[in-house]
Amino acid sequence: MLTTRKVVLAMLALATLIPAAAEAQTRRTTRVRTGVWNTGILGGVTLSTFSTANSTPLKQAVGAQAGVFADRGINRNVGVRAEVLVSQRGAKNDANANTMRLAYLDVPLMVRVGPTTTNATHFHAFTGLTPGFLLKTSTTTGGALAGGISTDVKKFDLGWLIGAGVEQHAWSIDGRYTFGLMNINNVPTQVEYKNRSFSINVGYRF
């Protein structure tokens, strides 16, 4: 089980690799034009669980996330970004050792605040909405996870994400937290469940 301390240490370790990787590639111009779309790939690890009023103890499930992005600077300090990601979420039931895993096609739509016209090392923050389309549901025992949520999960979810990251040349690393805004339980007589997910991603801009 990954603890918060281990997650932070992993982020710091990955951040130290960015300068070396950036120097190894052909050196790019230190200026980036606004008003054009930049594309790239990203991927990382997710730690997720469910928010619920049910008292059944739930633990985080570890998963993965990967996809593509396109971003564009509006001015020197504000930009927009869209992503298409396949993301794993879910939770573990501490009472019966059952794990529920959900796979989503996420389409985050974000506003980014931070320098947009430089390839030099810089920090940025971002926030936005994440529509999610359910691709697959599975449980280790085939039964309910807790309090009546089963493989009958709604096909659409909407989340709000906040995050921050660091970039240098073509490389980036970010951490983000996504709050599910909708009840994903498709069993109307049972407890509401909402996704909660933290992820760390490394990206490369072409």
Q: Is the dihedral of CA 137, 65, 107, 179 positive or negative?
A: positive
Which SS3 state, helix, strand or coil, does residue 15 take? Answer: helix
Residue 91: name the closest of 133, 54, 53, 47 by CA.
47
Instruction: Kindly give the confidence (pLDDT) of every residue in the chain, 206 residues in length, as a single tens digit, with 9 standing for 90 and above.
Output: 445 555 555 555 555 544 544 444 444 445 566 678 899 999 999 999 999 877 667 889 999 999 999 999 999 899 999 999 999 999 988 776 788 899 999 999 999 999 988 888 999 999 999 999 999 988 887 666 766 676 789 999 999 999 999 999 899 999 999 999 999 988 877 788 999 999 999 999 98
Q: CA distances (Å), 26 to each of 19, 69, 183, in order? A: 13, 22, 47
Query: Measured between alpha carbons, how far apart are the two ends of the chain, in Å?
Result: 34
Q: How far, in Å, CA of 42 to CA of 201, rounded? A: 6
Dihedral pair phi/psi, residue 17, rounded to 5°: -85, -20
pLDDT at 30: 52
Going by the DSSP 8-state scheme, the letter that residue 191 receives in this structure is -
pLDDT at 29: 47
pLDDT at 2: 47
